[in-house]
Structure 1
């Protein structure tokens, strides 16, 4: 009996060893909690006077998450791959979005070093993936450093349902990609769909990316964001802030962006970005003219030692005159970040930001003075005035 048991254990161990050589599954995650202060905050869409606010913040440096990712060797250089990733609030344990568990990412695909990668599910668009290496949020955090309201989708807020994404292998530093998301609206292939395409080129210390993205409202003719819209988060429209609140009934959103970077040394690097964002009205939209926002930004990253990281950024966003606004909205934002690594997986961080708004924008169909809303972490509590200051500190742990 003892010999039989030993044999079974040995065979089981051998099978497990063979399986692990061909397959891999990794559990990973992030918990990030801290404190945030803003000098003025009110409710989105409200004209009520704002007040200062101190609150416990979460997901500032890195979004709180846990997930599973894995691969299986299919032979011939091909692998099956998958990711299931759930977002949550580290302050109270609540799910990031209602109506699902793995709402950050849920996809499966096939990859081959010679032919590229094709994935299907809820995931980032090719637009984001190809531009992300030089996004302002790489060093500044999206919470404090995303371009105002993240209207240009250079932070990780825009995840797309029902999507196919293809990314090519690198051809002498050049990579291209495209994605398409099916809205699923009966009788219409285009309603609610999202599609994007882009290029990325890397050569030594220099890199550049350029991409296009279009997001269609599944509601015919525009209006309330439709349930079949592929960028919906639990039925809600993505990234609504004081910057674009007047244009949430658009028939479509369109983005063109370029990001680039140069690494001068192991300690110094700089990135820059330009984006053009358009909110295109339909017959049922509450605005009549296409609203256009142009944004220029730059970030300086300094890493003087292994444990330290510093970032400094500036962004300028300007809206064109339209929809009765005779003085287009303008937003200037300054952001600073500091990070100290306590270990490979744990660190302390701090961030500070200031934004000043001027000109006019729309709110509930009416022309109003533009008000400040820092990054994408203050979208639910924008300032009731032209200016806003935000400060935060926290602890982040990766596992």
Structure 2
């Protein structure tokens, strides 16, 4: 589930010259390449409460999303390369597509890259907010299945992508890099309608790293540029009809030898519009701690804690609070194959605003929904435990 944890890839060098120009194939092969990569990840899972019942079942894409992709580059001279990426998620237990009707549901873009001037890409892409802050945040260390903040309401896992987007990422200069992205709404007569914007920067200095990111999402229910956004869990489903959402997040890490410690913070604001089923702005604040320790090249353990609190709004006088603890242990059999175990526990308190059909909302007791893996199967009560043991192979 976590994009930044990809390991190993097998590179195939392909000639891009027509058959009639075989005499030039040696030179072309040195300038062009296509990388095939992917992950297959399956596990046994136990959940203490899924809508009122415990469940032991098989689950996939837990430590890292099951997927395959193609990444290509061609040197076109002057230090510039033409690049592309096509990435598809799939269910490794059934073979089904992760998103029906979308072959390359995760990423599909092309662009130009220059070490001196930066990279410009167009297509379906992750946001700079995720790429820079998410890399240092909870899901940059722990899997999003159990480490993402409740409901992934702050989109620090891989649940948010922009369609029809243009992204510029600067080169890293003195440890500082910047990226900005605009998703075109494509609405005739209105440039702003349905459009989305993201920007972030990251700074690395010796053992320290810090990143800050921003997101502005418009016309959430109808935007053509908002490729995916998690707003279907009991944490935030009451705000699915929001006119806009604003997300701000920051994360920092310190690494010393085999130990890493980090902190993160996010602020999410849902604003109503004329067609929204709620009346006043709702705000969620999340505070998090993460840490990992590598006992050997093969063995790493990680832990995270997060606290999420909603604001008093829309008739909710006792707003929801969520405490979540996540643990992870990995053992690398090889550089490509990993055995893992993950555990998480969440405790919910207070009240939530949830969607009640397509025409209304209801105020109910907040229920636990661990990480990003239980959005569709939340607990029927205030607590939920998830444990998984699995195998991930990367190629």
- TM-score, length basis structure 1: 0.91
Deviates more, 1:350-359 or 1:127-136: 127-136
CA drift at 1:13:
6.8
Q: Distance in 1 between matches of 2:324 and 2:40?
A: 27
Quote how far apart the aligned CAs of 1:12 are: 7.6
Match of 2:218 among 194, 201, 216: 216
- Tell me how far apart the structure 1 counterparts of residues 46 and 231 of structure 2 sit (CA, whole Å): 21
Asked whether the equivalents of residues 131 and 259 of structure 1 are also in contact (C-alpha less than 8 Å), the reply is yes
The answer to whether 1:229 aligns with 2:224 is yes
How far apart are the structure 2 equivalents of 1:93 and 1:214?
Answer: 35
Please tell me whether the aligned partners of residues 49 and 55 of structure 2 are also in contact (alpha carbons under 8 angstroms): yes
Shift of 1:367: 1.1
Q: Of 247, 250, 254, which aligns to 2:242?
A: 250
In structure 2, which of residues 267, 272, 279 is the aligned counterpart of residue 276 of structure 1?
A: 267
Superposed, 1:90-105 pairs within 5 Å as 90-105=92-107
CA contact (8 A) 1:160 1:181 kept: yes
Structure 1: gaps spanning 5 or more residues = 1-10, 43-49, 219-224
Whole-Å separation in 2 of the counterparts to 1:36 and 1:279: 33
Aligned to 1:110: 112
Unaligned stretches of 5+ residues in structure 2 = 1-19
Is residue 2:291 matched to residue 1:300? yes
Displacement of 1:14 in angstroms is 5.3
RMSD of the TM alignment (CA)?
1.3
Query: Given the alignment, which residue of 11, 23, 29 partners 1:20?
Result: 29
> Is 1:388 matched up with 2:381?
no
* Distance across 2 between alignment mates of 1:373 and 1:310: 23
Kindly state the Cα deviation for residue 201 of structure 1 after the two structures are TM-superposed.
0.6
Corresponding position of 1:356: 347
SS of match in other structure, 2:377 = coil
1:103-145 CA deviation, whole Å, 9 max, x = no partner? 1100001111111111000011111112122120122100010
Distance 2:393 2:131 in 1: 24
Correspondences of 1:101-250 after superposition (within 5 Å): 101-217=103-219, 225-226=221-222, 228-233=223-228, 238-250=230-242
1:286 aligned residue: 277
User: Is 1:366 matched with 2:375?
Assistant: no
Scaled by the length of structure 2, the TM-score of the pair is: 0.92
CA radius of gyration, larger in = 1
Q: Is the 8 A contact 2:231 2:237 kept in 1?
A: no
- For the 8 Å contact 1:157–1:239, the answer to whether it is kept is no
